């Protein structure tokens, strides 16, 4: 089962790659990471490169120790930029704009799977998103209440 934590932001970033670069720079200020680029998606046969590909970037990330060893499961971090590309997700999460996320132009998605999620890395990403772009968090379990419930994420319980 995959747990996803989404963040709605107003960032003004031109591409998914530029947003990801800014976010990774901020994350690396607080310690080493193992990262593997996995996006943006490449067009299939007969498709043209277009703004859809430029709007998305993704990395698999994991925290490493001083020996560059990975102790916990990695996570997938996806960035999508552009109001038109994330509008459906924004409306699904906040159909009446009660939480003020309409007009968000960046969506960051953290996907966790496996038996040993790296909650410390989730915390680092959450803090970096808030400091860069005043992120508003949301998940399928708690909706926007995840922000109120958030003190420090603990292993085994993504909503505390």
Looking at residue 154, its pLDDT comes to: 44
Q: What is the helix (H) or strand (E) element at residue 5, kind and residue range?
A: strand 3-9
Instruction: Judge whether 160 lies within some domain.
Output: no
Per-residue confidence in pLDDT tens, the chain, 160 aa: 899 999 999 999 999 999 999 999 999 999 889 999 997 666 566 655 665 678 899 999 999 877 888 888 999 999 999 988 899 999 999 999 999 999 999 999 999 998 999 999 999 999 999 999 989 999 988 888 888 877 544 444 443 3
Looking at residue 146, its pLDDT comes to: 82
Instruction: Judge whether 155 lies within some domain.
Output: no
Instruction: Judge whether 100 lies within some domain.
Output: yes
Instruction: Judge whether 134 lies within some domain.
Output: yes
Instruction: Judge whether 158 lies within some domain.
Output: no
Instruction: Judge whether 142 lies within some domain.
Output: yes
Give the whole-angstrom CA distance, residue 52 versus residue 85.
8
Looking at residue 151, its pLDDT comes to: 56
What is the domain extent for residue 128?
Answer: 3-38+53-149
CATH number of the structural domain spanning residue 12: 3.30.310
Contact 15, 54 (CB under 8 A): yes
Give the whole-angstrom CA distance, residue 3 versus residue 114.
10
Residues 6 or more apart in contact with residue 129 via CB below 8 angstroms: 7, 9, 23, 108, 135
| Beta-carbon-side half-sphere exposure of residue 125 (alpha carbons within 13 Å) | 30
- Domain count of the fold of the chain: 1
- For 2, 22, 79, 81, the CA distances from 14, given in Å and listed in that order, are 29, 12, 12, 7
Instruction: Judge whether 30 lies within some domain.
Output: yes
Looking at residue 10, its pLDDT comes to: 95
Looking at residue 23, its pLDDT comes to: 98
Instruction: Judge whether 83 lies within some domain.
Output: yes
Looking at residue 141, its pLDDT comes to: 86
């Amino acid at each position: 089962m995959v747990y996803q934590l989404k963040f709605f932001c107003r960032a003004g970033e031109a591409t998914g790659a530029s947003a990801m670069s800014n976010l990774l720079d901020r994350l690396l200020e607080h310690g080493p990471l193992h990262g593997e680029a996995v996006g943006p998606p490449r067009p299939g046969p007969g498709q043209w490169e277009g703004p859809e590909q430029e709007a998305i970037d993704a990395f698999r990330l994991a925290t490493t120790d001083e020996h560059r060893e990975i102790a916990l499961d990695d996570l997938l971090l996806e960035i999508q930029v552009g109001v038109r590309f994330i509008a459906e997700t924004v409306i699904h999460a906040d159909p009446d704009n009660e939480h003020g996320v309409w007009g968000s132009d960046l969506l960051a998605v953290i996907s966790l799977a496996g038996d040993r999620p790296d909650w410390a890395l989730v915390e680092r990403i959450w803090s970096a998103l808030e400091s860069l772009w005043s992120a508003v968090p949301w998940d399928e379990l708690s909706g926007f209440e995840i922000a109120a419930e958030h003190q420090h994420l603990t292993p085994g319980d993504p909503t505390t």
